[in-house]
Amino acid sequence: TSAKKLTEVSIDKKDFKQAVIRHLHSTLGTDENKANNHAWWKATCAAMQEQVLEGLRKTQKTHYLNDTRAVHYLSAEFLMGRLLSNNLQNFGLFEVAQGALKELGVELSDVLEEEPDMALGNGGLGRLAACFIDSLATMELPAIGYGIHYEHGLFRQEIHGGAQIERPDSWRDYGNPWEICRPESIQEVSLYGYVETKYGDNGRIHKEWHPGAIVKGVPWDIPIVGYGGNTVNVLRLWQSQSSGYFNWDVFNAGGYVDAQRENVLAETISKVLYPNDETEAGKELRLIQQYFFSSCSLKDIIRRYKRAHGDDWSRFADQVVIQLNDTHPAIAIPELMRILVDRAELDWDSAWNICTNVFAYTNHTLLPEALEKWPARMFEKILPRHLEIIYEINHRFMALVDKQWPNDNAMKARLSIIEEGNEKMVRMGHLSVIGSFAVNGVAEIHSRLVKQNLFPEFDQLWPGKLTNVTNGITPRRWLKACNPELSKLIDKKIGSDWPMDLDKLQGLAKHADNKTFQKQFMKVKQANKQALADEIKQSMGIDVDVNAIFDVQIKRLHEYKRQHLNLLHIMALYRRLLEDPDYDMHPRVFIFGAKAAPGYKLAKDIIFAINKVADKVNNDPRVNNKLKVVFMPNYRVSLAEKMIPATDVSEQISTAGKEASGTGNMKLALNGAVTIGTLDGANIEIAEEVGDDNIVIFGMTVEEVEALKASGYNPYDYYYNDAEIKAVLDWLETDYFTPGQPGALVSIKQSLLEGGDPYMVLADYQAYSEAHKVIDAAYRDKERWARMAIINTAKMGKFTSDRSIRDYVEKIWKLESCKVES
Ligand code: 26Q
């Protein structure tokens, strides 16, 4: 495809080749004859990084000179994946680099495979942050991402005997070519200790926090290259380091050896990413992580503001907006209050006014177990001054509640930041809503439920504060880079400016019935399926037929996402085939990718069950290759990039009301997959865009789920009334799939029966099974399927993260773009 035409290509093939060789020699100390692919990768990154850093310097200078308002995106997770291909692509140097390496006898595609994924996130929330900073740079918006420089990202998954084993991820073991350490911007963060109350002469009370320990935050900057534009923003990740300060008087009379222990503790803060998404762990270290990166980031923001505005705080909220990616950085709210009141000595009301004009909060979940709460006792120990500030915020807020709902104690208890009970808890969601000027959900249905079910009183108290911004994905990574053949075909059909203006894909719709275009489109899909089949053969030794339907479910493993619904249906198909060898179905390959939180027993049992069923099905000649099941280990961004272009059917089957948005659903549809899905999250908006003929919707709506729950849902009704459900669940209890280990899969049956089936898998089973028959029939009609696939790609314009960012800018951030000269 043509290199980007928006800016001049800064460097040609000859220069690029020379830069690679120069880095091979003088950065890596090797040469063309000795270099392996890893060395070529590093040298190519270094050559690229020269260009990137030039863009970074210009961008920072421009933003500084223009004194721009900027958004500061605080997120405990950034799931970046690989950067070389993305940076080459966004700089328009992909073909240049490919050509340069070819002349050196090296294949760029092999070099790209050398890069470890930067997996500093669990799943959707972390990847969303990565897509957003891509769009921010692409749209030339002044923005900075702040997060944690985890030494170990999300664990690497191995499958042993069908079970998940976690191995440490070491993405930096051989150095990361993109990051730049900035020791000149180190920050210090206090922890523990006690608060002293001082009485000043004017009667003013002054609080002084005497910390028990101080740790250093060392910033590492990752340049974020915008597509086509010249903006190169920064992702700043904080690494913890011992400061050597630990107040032994407060604790005990420790000595040199104990002090070493404290150094270890300090450096533990940024050691590892917590692998539990959607469950609140309540661990002390997790709270310290959150405070550590929030505090470092705030101090960094303030330092930059003061460089331009000195001690005049009056313009702070004009220059700074801080987006809280879920409640993980919500501690930034009392931290800013502490800095303003205790340090800058502003009065409370002025400080609070600044705070509530600076922060905005994104909610990503309604699941009660995922709403963060911290024991007040833990808070008091780690952040004693912050707990006092939270009490003060709450005290003043309770007065407001009393004004709105006089003498209503039940209301106060519901809205209080502090949850009373056996153990007092600090509710971070409440703190975030109270301390922010805007709160958004991540899809229309989710935002409606945030207003109606999660925070209805807040919505009454502050009409308009709660709003929606539907998620999006960057089409640069999730179409242009991961599916080059489809991208070239699209370029030929509608021109090459769609990556910056995804609504342009609409132009494909008028060709959806064109036989030639259908053939071309499906030929690309077939080639992508072949590439994935080769990968499956090579990595797992399983043969899959590329003429089969590739049916893919890729996402974290969770009961609410219902991978076990998919599994029950696969077992039912298997059973139908055993009972009737002529059972009429188009060959199907079910492909999974999923990591389970290490402590989530049932999730791991489901992975085990998928693998055991796969073993049996794949080796049973009676199914006559009509059915295959593949669990691809270690699902991650770079694997997603291989699976998504090869998918025919996208499984988006969460219980209605549980999946806030989903973003994998968008990536798959963008690459021409047909969704089988529930009316949940962004599926609803996808259905609106593609139309009912081009998506297969099944199952209960949120209202139906709520009604069934209210009327007393009984999974046994389905077990006893549906012979297939009964047979399949009973099958799990035998040793058919686990020879010699009867009962090894029984926990799944138990959770669906005795466990009460909390996500109503059995209630949706019948509808799901029927929906798959619709898929089967549609696929067999080759023209119909091609049209559906094309329309899916054509109608995904809404789901570019550029649109999400535009919505944030207009509704919340009020930013202006800032041109950077090339
Ligand atoms: C919290 C406390 C302690 C340890 C870990 C956590 C934690 C970590 C990660 C809690 C939640 C997460 C991640 C949540 C997440 O990925 N949510 C997803 O966000 C996507 C982007 O908005 C949505 O599309 C998904 O629907 C939502 O599930």
Q: What is the pLDDT of residues 687-742, one digit of tens each?
A: 999 999 999 999 999 999 999 999 999 999 999 999 999 999 999 999 999 999 99
Q: Which long-range contacts (CB under 8 A, 24 or more apart) does 482-487 make?
A: 482/640, 482/641, 482/642, 482/644, 482/645, 482/671, 483/524, 483/528, 483/644, 483/645, 483/671, 484/1, 485/524, 485/527, 485/528, 486/521, 486/524, 486/525, 486/528, 486/645, 486/671, 486/672, 486/793, 487/1
pLDDT for the residue numbered 4: 42
Q: Alpha-carbon torsion 692, 695, 696, 700, what sign? A: negative
Distance CA 15, CA 221 (A): 26
pLDDT for the residue numbered 1: 32
- Establish whether residue 660 lines the binding site of ligand 1, counting it when its CB lies within 6 angstroms of any ligand atom: yes
Nearest 5°: CA angle at 156, between 154 and 159?
Answer: 140
| Nearest residue by C-alpha to atom 8 in ligand 1 | 277
Sequence-ordered list of residues with C-beta below 8 angstroms from that of 818, at least 6 positions apart, any chain? 62, 63, 66, 68, 140, 141, 142, 231
How far, in Å, from the CA of 569 to the mean position of ligand 1?
A: 27
- Establish whether residue 661 lines the binding site of ligand 1, counting it when its CB lies within 6 angstroms of any ligand atom: yes
Distance CA 30, CA 17 (A): 15
- In 3-state terms, what secondary structure has residue 742? coil
Q: Give residue 320's Cα distance to chain centre.
A: 24
Terminal CA-CA length for the chain = 22
Q: Which residues does residue 476 pair with via DSSP β-bridges, in sequence order?
A: none
Residues 531/642, Cβ–Cβ less than 8 Å: yes
Tell me the one-letter amino acid at 211.
P
Beta strands 674-677; 649-652: pairing state: parallel
How far, in Å, from the CA of 124 to the mean position of ligand 1?
A: 6
Exactly one of 663, 675, 678, 800 is catalytic; name it: 663
> Is 663 a known active-site residue?
yes
> Is 364 a known active-site residue?
yes
Beta strands 320-325; 70-74: pairing state: parallel
Domains of the chain: 1-66+91-116 (no CATH), 67-82+117-436 (3.40.50.2000), 521-797 (3.40.50.2000)
> Is 504 a known active-site residue?
no
- Establish whether residue 367 lines the binding site of ligand 1, counting it when its CB lies within 6 angstroms of any ligand atom: no
Residue with tokens 């900057």: 221
**Nearest CA among 660, 534, 535, 650 for reference residue 592:** 650
DSSP output for 149-190: --SB-SPEEEEETTEEEEE---TTTT--TT-EE-GGG-EEEE
> Is 555 a known active-site residue?
yes
- Going by the DSSP 8-state scheme, the letter that residue 423 receives in this structure is S
- Establish whether residue 190 lines the binding site of ligand 1, counting it when its CB lies within 6 angstroms of any ligand atom: no
- Going by the DSSP 8-state scheme, the letter that residue 676 receives in this structure is E
Nearest 5°: CA angle at 737, between 772 and 562?
Answer: 40
pLDDT for the residue numbered 228: 87
Largest alpha-carbon pair distance within the chain?
92
Beta strands 156-160; 163-167: pairing state: antiparallel
Q: Dump pLDDT digits (tens) for 774-802.
A: 999 999 999 999 999 999 999 999 999 99
Tokens of 48: 């690229």
pLDDT for the residue numbered 279: 79
Sequence-ordered list of residues with C-beta below 8 angstroms from that of 86, at least 6 positions apart, any chain? 134, 225, 476, 477, 481
Is the full-model pTM beyond 0.90? yes
How far, in Å, from the CA of 655 to the mean position of ligand 1?
A: 17
Beta strands 373-375; 425-427: pairing state: antiparallel
- In 3-state terms, what secondary structure has residue 325? strand
Residues 489/520, Cβ–Cβ less than 8 Å: yes
What does each C-alpha distance from 22 to 46, 152, 376, 411 come to in angstroms?
10, 31, 57, 68
CB 448: neighbour CB atoms within 10 A? 14
**pLDDT < 50 regions, the chain:** 1-7
Q: What are phi and psi of 467, to 5 degrees?
A: -145, 180
ipTM reported for the complex, 2 dp: 0.98
- Establish whether residue 662 lines the binding site of ligand 1, counting it when its CB lies within 6 angstroms of any ligand atom: yes
- Establish whether residue 445 lines the binding site of ligand 1, counting it when its CB lies within 6 angstroms of any ligand atom: no
Q: Give residue 208's Cα distance to chain centre.
A: 38
- Establish whether residue 124 lines the binding site of ligand 1, counting it when its CB lies within 6 angstroms of any ligand atom: yes
Distance CA 251, CA 266 (A): 16
Exactly one of 328, 446, 561, 803 is catalytic; name it: 561
Residues 639/552, Cβ–Cβ less than 8 Å: no
Quote the crossing angle between the two packed helices 761-780 and 723-733, to the nearest 10°.
Answer: 110
How far, in Å, from the CA of 77 to the mean position of ligand 1?
A: 9
Residue with tokens 């179905």: 585
Residue with tokens 């969460």: 654
- Going by the DSSP 8-state scheme, the letter that residue 120 receives in this structure is E
DSSP H or E segment with residue 617: helix 601-618
**Nearest CA among 637, 667, 643 for reference residue 525:** 643
How far, in Å, from the CA of 737 to the mean position of ligand 1?
A: 33
Q: Give residue 765's Cα distance to chain centre.
A: 28
- Establish whether residue 803 lines the binding site of ligand 1, counting it when its CB lies within 6 angstroms of any ligand atom: no
pLDDT for the residue numbered 112: 98
Distance CA 517, CA 492 (A): 11
Distance CA 732, CA 609 (A): 9
Tell me the one-letter amino acid at 161.
G
- In 3-state terms, what secondary structure has residue 72? strand
> Is 556 a known active-site residue?
yes
pLDDT for the residue numbered 5: 43
